[in-house]
């Protein structure tokens, strides 16, 4: 089921808008519906978002070969932070998860795992909302539905990987040269404060850069806990 289909289905079931562009059962003050949370938190406050009663505008992935090459989702996302992606798909998040608090508590864990992974997933929701797509709170049983949910956001992150490689390794195969950019925490907070804009150096979305930094931070923490080094990383 597409995001638009899910949106229409929820409206037909009596859901209505509440503050911040979220859907709630019955249109009352009784809280969000349990059991329909997966995909029912549909934020539409980002650019291109529709008004009440309309489905979010969902950007499509590029059709031209040149544009697709600049969004290498496998080599620029899966190969950069594979374990962070996998764990992020398996956890639940909510609006109560605070990215800045996660940065403050970096290196620690809660019942879901490293808080850096929580921040990574939360940032993906922020990027989805910015792109006019739903934010998802529940866990995903497999990576396929996770990529269905966050495909456009991850494409934007892949674009940031491509642009970063052109900056640090011009003309060379895509890889994450970790030694050339190590200040993940400070850069992540800077991109958080600049979200909604574009990275002045690379021209990519600042929120995509935020996701990228948090993905790297989470991946490195997981490697320190025993995960193998990411395929696309170089020291």
Residues 45 and 8 both lie in one domain? yes
Domain interval for residue 170: 65-234
Q: What is the pLDDT of residue 43?
A: 34
Residues 153 and 223 in one domain: yes
The residues that bridge with 17 in the sheet, in sequence order, are 23
What confidence score (pLDDT) does residue 12 get? Answer: 53
Q: In a 3-state reduction of DSSP, which class is residue 49?
A: coil
Q: E strands, the chain, where? A: 15-18, 22-25, 109-110, 113-114, 176-177, 233-234
C-alpha distance from residue 55 to each of 100, 101, 132, 139, 155 (Å): 30, 32, 9, 23, 21
Q: Locate all alpha helices (DSSP H) within 2-61, ordered by sequence.
A: 3-12
Over residues 31-61, the pLDDT tens digits come to 333 333 334 333 333 333 333 333 334 446 7
Classify residue 111 as left (phi > 0), alpha (psi -120 to 50) or beta: alpha
Which DSSP state fits 17? E
Same domain, yes or no: 112 and 47: no
Global confidence as pTM: 0.76
Residues 15 and 103 in one domain: no
Pair (130, 161) in one structural domain: yes
pLDDT, tens only, 140-168: 999 999 999 999 999 999 999 999 999 98
Q: Are residues 46 and 75 in the same domain?
A: no
The whole-number pLDDT of residue 58 equals 46
- pLDDT tens-digit map of 100-139: 999 999 999 999 999 999 999 999 999 999 999 999 999 9
User: How many Cα atoms occupy the beta-carbon half-sphere of 34 within 13 Å?
Assistant: 1
Asked whether residue 212 carries a pLDDT value surpassing 70, the answer given is yes
Provide the number of structural domains found in the chain. Answer: 2
1 plus 85 within the same structural domain = no
Do both 80 and 193 map to the same domain? Answer: yes
């Amino acid at each position: 089921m597409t995001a638009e289909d899910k949106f229409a289905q929820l409206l037909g079931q009596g859901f209505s808008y509440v503050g911040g562009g979220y859907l709630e059962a019955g249109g009352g003050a009784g809280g969000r519906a349990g059991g329909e949370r997966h995909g029912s938190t549909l934020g539409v406050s980002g650019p291109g978002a529709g008004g009440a009663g309309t489905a979010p505008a969902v950007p499509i992935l590029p059709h031209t070969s040149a544009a697709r090459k600049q969004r290498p989702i496998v080599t620029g996302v899966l190969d950069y932070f594979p374990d962070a992606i996998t764990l992020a798909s398996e956890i639940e998040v909510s609006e109560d998860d605070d990215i800045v608090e996660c940065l403050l508590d970096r290196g620690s864990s809660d019942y879901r795992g490293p808080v850096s992974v929580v921040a990574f997933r939360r940032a993906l929701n922020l990027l989805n909302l910015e792109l006019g797509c739903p934010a998802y709170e529940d866990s995903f049983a497999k990576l396929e539905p996770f990529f269905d949910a966050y495909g456009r956001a991850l494409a934007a992150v892949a674009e940031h990987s491509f642009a970063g490689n052109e900056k640090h390794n011009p003309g060379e195969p895509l890889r994450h040269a970790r030694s050339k950019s190590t200040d993940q925490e400070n850069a992540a907070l800077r991109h958080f404060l600049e979200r909604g804009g574009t990275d002045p150096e690379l021209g990519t979305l600042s929120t995509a850069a935020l996701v990228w930094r948090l993905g790297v931070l989470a991946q490195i923490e997981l490697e320190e806990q025993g995960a193998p080094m990411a395929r696309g990383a170089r020291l």
